[in-house]
Every structure is written in C-alpha cells, then in structure tokens.
Chain A
Amino acid sequence: MPAGPAGKPPTVTPVRVVIALCLVAPFVAMLWVGSYAKVDPTFIGIPFFYWYQMLWVLISTALTTVAYKLWQRDQRARKGGESA
C-alpha cells in the first residue's frame, strides 16, 4: 500500500460536507412522510402527496448533479495537488 504524500489534504473539507448534505437531503425529505401526507394543495387536479414527491425527483436530481460536479472538482484538485 503506497503511503499518502506528506501534507495530504484533510479527509473532511467544507466541500465534502456540502456533497454529503446534497446526498442526505432526499432521505430527510422522503422519509418524513408526515410532512407531505395530505391532499391539498392540488396542482392541476393532482393531490399534493403525488406532485410533491414527483417534484422531489427533480430536486434530488439537481442535488445529485451538484454533488457530482463538486466531487469531480475535489478529485481533480487532489490529483493536481499530489503530482505537484
């Protein structure tokens, strides 16, 4: 196993905390069923319960995309740091 280079960046960084929050948020929102188990307000006739969860498909997609972009930047920065 190769030893990490001296001055290895810390494992927990602000960027990584943001990534973790992006990935955890859908769990909090979806598992808290009580927050959305209701019929009103409806959207074009669709009860809140259904359109809210479908909306979360889009929100969680956006969050995962942000996490992906941040992770890529994080990894690139680290690789650049190692070779320098």
Chain B
Amino acid sequence: MKDGVNGVALGVFIFFFAAVTVMGFLAARWRKAENEASLDEWGLGGRSFGTWVTWFLLGGDLYTAYTFVAVPAAIYAAGAAGFFAVPYTILVYPLIFTFLPRLWSVSHKHGYVTTSDFVRGRFGSKGLSLAVAVTGILATMPYIALQLVGIQAVLDVMGVGGGENTHWFVKDLPLLIAFAVLAAYTYSSGLRAPALIAFVKDGLIYLVIAVAIIYIPIKLGGFDDIFAKAGEAFSETNPATGKPRGALAPGEAGQWGYATLALGSALALFMYPHSITATLSSRSRNVIRRNTTILPLYSLMLGLLALLGFMVIAAGIKVDNGQLAIPQLFENMFPDWFAGVAFAAIGIGALVPAAIMSIAAANLFTRNIYKDFLRPDATPEQETKVSKLVSLLVKVGALAFVLTMDKTVAINFQLLGGIWILQTMPALVGGLFTRWFHRWALLAGWAVGMVYGTVAAYGVASPTQKHFGGSSAEIPGIGEIGYIGLTAFVLNVVVTVVLTFALNAVKAPVGTDETSPADYTADAGDPGVETELPPATAGAPGGH
C-alpha cells in the first residue's frame, strides 16, 4: 500500500459522497404522496416505482459494495470457485419470474409490507410469522455490517483509515461520518433515498467496470497474459494446505460445491428482506416480470468484475486481506482522479443496500414483532415512527459490530445468514403456491434446517479458522462436498412434508387463511387492489 493520503482520489470521493448526501435528503420530496404517515410511504416508497426505478433499486440493492469487493477477492484467492456468483445470478431471474409476481399481488391486495405479513395471513400463525421475521432480521444485520466493511476497505486504500498506531477515534472517524449521513437521510426520506441514489451508484459502477475491463487488460498485455500469469500463480502450492492454491477451471471434486452454491444462493437471494422490500415497492406485476428481462445486465457486469480478480494477480499485487485486492488494483492502475471515481462507486455502492436493508429489517420488526406482539392497536403513524427508529438502531448495531469485532466475525455471520434465510423458503414460496403445508410442520422444518445449518457451518475448519471456515461440507448420503445451506434446505423440506402428512392425518388445526386464490394473480387497477391501501387493519384476519 502506498503511504499517506491519496489527496486527489479523496477529493473526488468526497465530492460524490456530498452529492449523494444532498440527493438523499431531497429524495423525501420526490414523488411525494398524500398519506405520508403510512409505512407504505416510508418503507415501500408508496409502492409506486416503475420499471426503471425498480431496476436501479434492485440492482443497487442486490449488487452491494461487499459484492464488488468479495467476488473478485474470492477469484483472487482461489480462482474458478469464486466465479459461482455468475451462475448464481443467472438462476435468480427465472426464479423471480415464477414466484415474485404472486407475492406482489397478494401483498398489494392485503397490504402486506413484509414476507412475515404474508406468512401470518396465509397460515394464520403468528409463531411461524415470528420465525420468518427473526430469521430475516438476523440474516440482514451482518449483511449491513459488511457494507461498512466495504467502505472501510476503500478508506484504507485511500490512506485515511490511519495506521495501526492511530487513535481509534481518528481511525474510525470517516466511517462514523459516512454512517451518520446514511442514517440521517434514511430516517428522513425512507426508501425514496436509496432509490434515487441508486441511479448515481449504478451509473458510476458501470462506468468504472467498462473502463477497467478495457483499460487494465491493455496495460497488462491482454487477457492471454493475464490468465497465463494467474494459471501459474494458482498452480503454486499453498503451504497451509499442501494443495495448489486454486485453478482456472474447477476440478471434478469441486463441481458439486460449485453447483450447489450457485443454486442455494439463488434460492436464498429473494428470501432476504431487502430484496422483497425493493420488489414490493414496484408499481405492478408487470414491472417485476419486465425487470427479470433487464436485471441480467448486472450479472454480466458481475462477471466482468470477477475477471478483475485475475488482473490483480497478473498485476503482481499481493495483499494479505483479499478485500483490499480490488481497491488496490484501482489505486495502482488508474490515474488518481479516476481511482477516486472508482472508490466513490464502491462507497456509494455500500450506502444504497445498507439503507434498504435497514429499512427492511425495521419493517419486519415493526409489523411482525411490535404490532403482532407488543402493540396490536398501533396506528399507521405509530408504525412508521417505530420503523424509522428501528432503522437507526439496526444501523447502530451494525456499526458497533464492525467497530468492536474482528471483520471475520461479520463474514462468518453473513455466511450463516445465507444458510438461515434459505430456511424461510418453504413457508414463503410454498405458501405462494399451495396451502397444503401445515403451519406447525413448516415451523418444525424451519427449526431443523436452522439447527443443522448452524451446526454444520460451525464444524467447517479452514487453514485460518477453526470454525465457520467456509460454507461447504460433505452432503450426508451423497458424500460429495456441497453447500450447507442447500443440504439444510432439503432436510427442512423433507421434515415439512412428512410432518404435514402426519398433522393432517390427526387433523391438527390448520389456522385461518385470509387470502383467496384470485389474490395471487390480481394486478394494479383490479378491484380492491389499489383501494385497500394503506392497510389500517391488516392485522385483523379478513379485515377487507
């Protein structure tokens, strides 16, 4: 790393940061609606976003700063195995196409703001809804923390992170400022702020990637040279494991892991509360389906970005902390001013998802814990107030996490979060298509998946860590190494199906279903879809 502060890069970075801050506060006035005080306004942007806003919002939401740092870092570390992010994002879109429009329709019809709202309404079970809500909050918190880790990586490379001997307050001051700004505009503008800032974020990201993918290979002598050098580096033996460091294409042994990781991650992505929040903020069913045809542009960008990992190796950059690989590549390769633009892209790339995630977690708490268990008679105004406060708390929690604990803790928890969130899929997606599953069976299946996933992940060792060393372990019965989350998910489904048969046989009470089949295909403009918003009595079954 170069010594001292990169002044030009820092100046450009601050300029963009200040610009999006102003945008964040002005966003409150963008497309303002009348029922300002409702949670639909603050937490879902009035459910009014069209195709392009939704595209930017979802892209800004799913392709986070951490993604930009972690995907090339994984390639840098091990080669081919890190590329699973590309098939993963390819598989996401056919999945969205199939189930999200149904979730959109039923949510609009009944005023559901979160996935737990839907699960409660569909299965008449507050317990199951609480399980889904708690899983969502637990999985989201470390994800927010990782966004701050992404900002830290950029600040480090720019030289403003301070050295080892700097006072902790000075060292963390830039991060604290970034955080305070984020918290303030999310509080005042809600989902509108990240939606507006996402335009800047994605514009910058596409620009940086386009330049990087042309400019850097030219400087490094073309892709032939880059992959030749990377191939050499990967064939060297890693002293810690005694095996080669990585490979340019996965060997026989790694293929199960690659496929299960891609599939499991794809299934999990739209279980995350922040993905659902961005989806429900769209204006109509068609906006979602149309988005599945244009969102893959981001996958292409992700693929190109992943290739930058090889360029880090070819450029001879050696970093101990893989997360610094990409920022360091930009710093070394680009002129100072453009490095500043690239850093701003990553920094702002952290703000958008962090804002949406904190809003999503806050909505879950407000709707499915505060309203369902603590204050059943809360008015929409109170709901919004609580949600705003909780969004602050969630971010403070994430900040405390990053400042007090080692980075690996946040990464471990995020890995667990992915495994956990996948366990909510049977209740959510199953519920969208059938009412056959029994609510208690779903709860039991969820519990089994959570426990198995956690225990299995705890047992994975790596050369640097005794526990949580990775997300893959041997699949019982098959003997191949595969993604723990997917194994846990299969167990979860098996338990759910078996118990549903058993519970139905003994005629256990199935709970009230407040939805009807037509609700799942309703579209904006259909009778009852627009008029029922905002939902003042969504908690009462059959409140419509």
Contact = CB atoms under 8 A, between A and B. Distances in A.
A53 B303 CA distance: 8
Given A33-B258, A47-B249, A54-B300, A64 B97 contact: yes
A66 B391 CA distance: 40
B342 interface: no
Contact of A71 (B258, B289, B303): B289
Contact of B227 (A22, A38, A47, A64): A47
Given A45-B226, A50-B306, A57-B89, 16 more contacts: A26-B94, A30-B91, A30-B262, A31-B259, A31-B262, A34-B252, A37-B251, A45-B224, A46-B223, A46-B307, A49-B83, A53-B87, A54-B300, A54-B303, A60-B296, A68-B97
A2 B258 CA distance: 46
A45 B93 contact: no
Interface in A1-57: 1-2, 22-24, 26-27, 30-34, 37-39, 42, 44-50, 53-54, 56-57
Nearest to B80: A49
A60 B249 contact: no
Given A50-B83, A67-B97, A37 B90 contact: no
Contacts of A27: 91, 94, 263
B255 interface: yes
A7 B242 CA distance: 68
Contacts of B299: 57
Contacts of B286: 72
A41 B508 CA distance: 59
Interface residues of A, number: 37
Interface of B: 80, 83, 86-87, 89-91, 93-94, 97-98, 222-227, 248-252, 255, 258-259, 262-263, 286, 289-290, 292-293, 296, 299-300, 303-304, 306-307, 516-518
A38 B97 CA distance: 31
Given A27-B94, A56-B87, A57-B303, A39 B248 contact: yes
A58 interface: yes
A49 B248 contact: yes
Contacts, number: 110
B192 to A, nearest CB: 28
Contacts of A37: 80, 249-251, 255, 258
A2 B527 CA distance: 13
A60 B250 contact: no
Contacts of A64: 93-94, 97, 292-293, 296
Contacts of A23: 94, 97-98
B83 A68 contact: no
Contacts of A48: 249
5 contacts: A23-B97, A38-B249, A50-B306, A53-B83, A54-B300
Nearest to B230: A47
